[in-house]
Amino acid sequence: MRQPLIIQCAGQSLVGTAHLRAQATTRPSGQSIGVLMLSFGQQPRSWVGDLGVAVAERTAAAGYSAFRFDMPGLGDSPGDIPVHLEVLWRSIQEGAHGPIARALVGELKRRFNLRGLVVGGFCGGAVTATFCAAQADDDILGLFMLEPEIALTPTPEVRAVHEVDTVSSFLERIDLVKRRLRSPASWRRLLSGDSDLLYWKGLLDYALARRRAARGGEVLPPDTNRRLLAAWQQCTRRHMPVLVISAGGATRRKYYAAYNMQPGRSEPDANLTWNEIENTTHAMLAGGAKRAVPDEIETWLGRHFPLDERSVGPSPQMQTLAARFT
């Protein structure tokens, strides 16, 4: 059963959708588990291609109550946002929505009488979910991240047009260089002086800067979101169940490897599950990913947060609570 919600918390009015579990557990009151899903960047809570809706519907059908919410200024939730998207993304990456999401977890737990919640998100939403989950309390039981961004977005005030200042832009240009080296037209432009020399200079400057940093013992790129990695490590130290789902293409693997990560490698001792979906993109829709992502999340939830004896239909308590807060 799907219900709209408006929840006041942390001085914000947050708009969301509740997918109440189709199979309510027969556990005592306060023993059911919720799943909070966070949108990313300027996108609405349905996510691109309604992927978020598909995940929430599958989660509810499996017996968990799922909640999709817009953060302030995004989707249906009122609030102020910056003029430039890069500034918005950077603020999210630096944890601006973390305290708000944490307050939302507390409200959902209290209002729907939950034992706790699993928090997750896509891209920037995964970043917010990680900051939220890193806080050491019993309200948050687990974390899932879809295509998490590890880099900090350069803001327009400091970024030059031709500057290469992120791992993503460097990898994209390296791939383009390889194509240009095989292109007679590109060689003609270079030899004729028509080539964009600033383009090549930016690429060379970034490569040299990375090499100098490596010689000095710095293994992470300068655009690394170190606060995010620290929050992730906090979850790991608590042995919180963590699921990462990423695109399995070569470019995306290089991206995570640049940050000293091993994409697709799970670490059972740390309660980390990292699955890759082949033949898809960052949007997680192509190549059957829209079907695979809900499958992966449902399997992971069932493994770490099993629901015992189930009865068909939403519980009367959940129906009453949903109607009260609509």
Per-residue confidence at 301, pLDDT binned at 50, 70, 90? very high
Per-residue confidence at 210, pLDDT binned at 50, 70, 90? low
Give the Cα separation of 203 and 210 in Å (integer): 11
Q: What is the mean pLDDT of residues 105-117?
A: 95
* pLDDT tens-digit series, residues 223-241: 899 999 999 999 999 999 9
* pLDDT tens-digit series, residues 8-36: 999 999 999 999 975 544 444 457 899 99
Q: What is the mean pLDDT of residues 284-293?
A: 95
Q: Which domains are present in the chain?
A: 2-152+224-324 (3.40.50.1820), 167-215 (no CATH)
Cα 177 to the center of its chain, rounded Å = 30
Phi-psi region at 228: left, alpha or beta (left = phi > 0; alpha = psi -120 to 50)? alpha
Per-residue confidence at 84, pLDDT binned at 50, 70, 90? confident
Q: What is the mean pLDDT of residues 95-112?
A: 96
Lowest-confidence region among 26-35, 92-101, 161-170: 161-170
Collapsing DSSP to helix, strand or coil, 84 comes out as: coil
Give the Cα separation of 198 and 99 in Å (integer): 41
Question: pTM of the prediction?
Answer: 0.79
Lowest-confidence region among 34-43, 119-128, 307-316: 307-316
* Percent of the chain at pLDDT exceeding 70: 75
Residue 23 contacts by C-beta under 8 Å, 6 or more apart in sequence? Answer: 61, 62, 63, 307, 310, 311, 312, 313
Residue with tokens 């690429």, as numbered in its chain: 203
Lowest-confidence region among 37-46, 134-143, 208-217, 254-263: 208-217
pLDDT at residue 191 in the model: 59
pLDDT at residue 181 in the model: 66
